[in-house]
Structure formats: structure tokens, C-alpha cells
């Protein structure tokens, strides 16, 4: 609808991010991101939620390398990737 000024509620945003976290292209990322989303999203700052939202647009194979530590991710994701790695005790 043109001119629609509706803003996504926090509850809907968290629900959307959880769904996207659990429905990735590869099973490993479903487990890594989905479990993190279920346990930690509600407690993240708005800035980290924004970063997580953007992170979900990235390629799963890149994400897997970034979270696993075999490749360095973009600086804009450093804090959220660090949080995901800490949650899963990676590295």
C-alpha cells in the first residue's frame, strides 16, 4: 500500500527473525542461528538486532565460515558474530 506508515512491532520483528534463523539454506546454519535466536534475540540491543537482521541476508556458506572462525566476517557484523560464537562456545 502506497504511503503505508506501519512500523513493525518488536514482537513481530523477533518472530520474523526467529523464523528466518530456522529456515536457512543449510541445516548447520539453522541450528546455529535458530538456537541463538530462540535464546538471545529478545535481550539484544536495537543495534545488534539490526546487525542480526542484516546478517540473515548473507550467504549461508559465508556465515558458516565467519561463525566457525575459518574466515573473518565484515567488521559491521563483528559484535553479533562474536555473540553467536560465545553462545555456542566456538573458538
**Residue in the block written with cell 523477533:** 14
Question: Which among 90, 88, 91 is positioned nearest to 36, based on CA atoms?
Answer: 88
77 Cβ partners below 8 Å, 6+ apart? 51, 54, 55, 58, 66
Give 19-78 pLDDT, tens digit per residue. 999 999 899 999 999 999 999 999 999 999 999 999 999 999 999 999 999 999 999 999
pTM above 0.95, yes or no: no
Half-sphere exposure of 31 (CA within 13 A, CB side): 5
Contact 74, 38 (CB under 8 A): no
CA–CA separation, 10 and 55 (whole Å): 18
Domains, the chain, in order of start with CATH, read 11-88 (1.10.150.250)
Cell numbers at 50, concatenated: 539490526
Amino acid at each position: 500500500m502506497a504511503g503505508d506508515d506501519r512500523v513493525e512491532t518488536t514482537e513481530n520483528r523477533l518472530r520474523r527473525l526467529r523464523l528466518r534463523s530456522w529456515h536457512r539454506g543449510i541445516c548447520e546454519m539453522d541450528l546455529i542461528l535458530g538456537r541463538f535466536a530462540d535464546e538471545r534475540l529478545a535481550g539484544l540491543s536495537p543495534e545488534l538486532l539490526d546487525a542480526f537482521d542484516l546478517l540473515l541476508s548473507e550467504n549461508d556458506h559465508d556465515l558458516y565460515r565467519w561463525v566457525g572462525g575459518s574466515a573473518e566476517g565484515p567488521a559491521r557484523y563483528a559484535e553479533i558474530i562474536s555473540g553467536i560464537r560465545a553462545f555456542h562456545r566456538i573458538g
